[in-house]
Structure 1
């Protein structure tokens, strides 16, 4: 099974929720990184980590698939 086949396969409900949470975390991180005001360096660093963590969480959740019952 290729990665494209896994991405097209049905995703379990838990991972759909996890994917949505990951997208929200990535959006918050992106907002912190592109804020129009100057923020402390630690806040910008945390924003970068949030963006990466949210992206990874969403990507991993997208390729999770339901197993078919074995006969």
Structure 2
């Protein structure tokens, strides 16, 4: 468990910072579709759920990616 906290606090490479931001935007978009106050077709809400999950996974994986060249020993 301690290793995961260390990885989350370690420096993240620039590429994965961009991916993390994209993932957060996808999760927000999916959540917005799911929480829409109007009735949407089932296919739209299904896609919104998948987009939200994919964005969350992308953000989590990107956050835990470590740049070993910048990490202090």
The answer to whether the superposition gives a TM-score over 0.5 is yes
Q: Where does residue 10 of structure 1 map in the other structure?
A: 11
* TM-score, with length taken from structure 1: 0.93
Which stretches in structure 1 are left out of the alignment for 5+ residues?
A: none
CA root-mean-square deviation: 1.3
Pairing of 1:4-43 with structure 2 (within 5 A)? 4-43=5-44
User: Alignment length, in residue pairs?
Assistant: 69
Alpha-carbon distance in 2 for matches of 1:66, 1:2:
15
Give unpaired runs (5+ residues) of structure 2. Answer: none
Distance 1:13 1:55 in 2: 18
